[in-house]
């Protein structure tokens, strides 16, 4: 499907990845409707930071992903739905699992059911590498067993299963996009890379972080957006899951040292028990195989970790951006 001129709905449009995706779709000359969680102050998340020319090109739609009537109204007339709305913080899922079930499972059901009723041409449901749990083999391909090691990952496994069932039961043209650890400008300081960067830029003498040994495959956000666009443009089989990964990994400890070097910080790195997951819940290793997506769409990552970190550090170094973060406390 050619994206130029396509009518697209992005749920979770005001979030980290969602806002970057909206920018990418505008560049592709799509007609973009942004589904945003209603608040009385009318804020649109990161889209509020867009230039006026960008905001004027967006059709803003406020609602709640858990409300079927609003989801269906938003999806009406759309060619493609990019479903990104979700609760994503793993630590908070230990405290409020019901919220994750309602948002991530019920919200995904609402999108799928609306698309089925409205005969939407394509739906892209956003998954996560967390559905795999600790790697049983590497690199992890889409056939790897799914292991729920947190309430968050359990909710995403269930959402993926719903998408698969709608493809098989109703022939819904849905594809499951499974990004590994996306990072970049605008990411919440809850995530590991912004946490490290903001503490280092804040001249902290000690960098507090959770477990140092887990290994991750980090994908720069612009590459993740490129993958979403490639998925939308490609004729992928209904119900297929595709990894978005670089095929490279780094431990959290090595990552921390790299960021300290790049920011000129001489801080010490300290493991913080408060930030560690329960032992059996920690995902020790995620290293992705994205050959399925590459073979079917031609997508491949373009930004190296060094390049992506440099761009991310430069963004957080701006005072107005760093002021949005809380480097002085742990955000779950």
**Whose structure tokens read 């830029």?**
201
Cα(first)–Cα(last) distance of the chain, in Å? 39
Alpha-carbon span 222 to 108, nearest angstrom: 24
Strands (E) in 102-238, as ranges, are 122-126, 174-179, 181-183, 206-209, 215-216, 218-220
Q: What is the DSSP letter of 133?
A: -
Task: Say if residue 56 is preceded by a cis peptide, omega within 30 of 0.
Answer: no
Residue 237 burial class via C-beta count within 10 angstroms: exposed 0-12, middle 13-18, buried 19 and up: exposed
Q: Is 94 a catalytic residue?
A: no
Of 100, 109, 152, 183, the catalytic one is 152
Contacts of residue 184, Cβ cutoff 8 Å, sequence gap at least 6: 16, 20, 220, 221, 222, 308, 311, 312, 315
Contacts of residue 258, Cβ cutoff 8 Å, sequence gap at least 6: 250, 309
Q: Are 75 and 111 in contact (CB under 8 A)?
A: yes
Q: Are 163 and 125 in contact (CB under 8 A)?
A: yes
Alpha-carbon span 253 to 312, nearest angstrom: 18
Residues serving a catalytic function are 152
């Amino acid at each position: 499907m050619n994206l130029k001129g396509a009518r697209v709905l992005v749920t979770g449009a005001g979030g980290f990845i969602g806002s970057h995706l909206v920018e990418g779709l505008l560049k592709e000359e799509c007609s973009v409707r942004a589904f945003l969680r209603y608040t009385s102050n009318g804020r649109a998340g990161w889209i509020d930071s867009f230039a006026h020319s960008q905001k004027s090109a967006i059709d803003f739609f406020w609602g709640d992903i858990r409300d079927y009537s609003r989801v269906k109204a938003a999806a009406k007339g759309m060619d493609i739905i990019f479903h990104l709305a979700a609760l994503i913080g793993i630590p908070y899922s230990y405290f409020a699992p019901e919220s994750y079930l309602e948002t991530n499972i019920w919200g995904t059901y609402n999108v799928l059911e609306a698309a089925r009723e409205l005969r939407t041409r394509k739906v892209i449901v956003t998954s996560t590498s967390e559905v795999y749990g600790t790697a049983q083999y590497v690199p992890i391909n889409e056939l790897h067993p799914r292991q729920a090691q947190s309430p968050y990952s359990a909710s995403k496994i269930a959402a993926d299963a719903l998408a698969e069932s709608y493809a098989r039961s109703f022939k819904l043209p849905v594809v499951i996009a499974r990004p590994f650890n996306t990072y970049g400008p605008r990411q919440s300081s809850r995530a590991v890379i912004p946490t490290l960067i903001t503490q280092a830029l804040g001249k902290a003498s000690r960098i507090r972080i959770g477990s140092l040994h887990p290994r991750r495959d980090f994908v720069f956000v612009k590459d993740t957006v490129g993958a979403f666009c490639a998925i939308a443009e490609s004729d992928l089989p209904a119900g297929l899951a595709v990894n978005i990964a670089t095929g490279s990994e780094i431990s959290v400890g090595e990552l921390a040292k790299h960021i300290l070097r790049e920011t000129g910080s001489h801080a010490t790195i300290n493991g913080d028990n408060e930030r560690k997951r329960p032992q059996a819940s920690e995902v020790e290793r995620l290293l992705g195989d994205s050959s399925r997506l590459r073979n079917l769409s031609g997508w491949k990552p373009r930004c190296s970790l060094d390049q992506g970190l440099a761009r991310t550090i430069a963004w957080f170094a701006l005072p107005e951006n760093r002021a949005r973060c809380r480097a002085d406390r742990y955000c779950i």
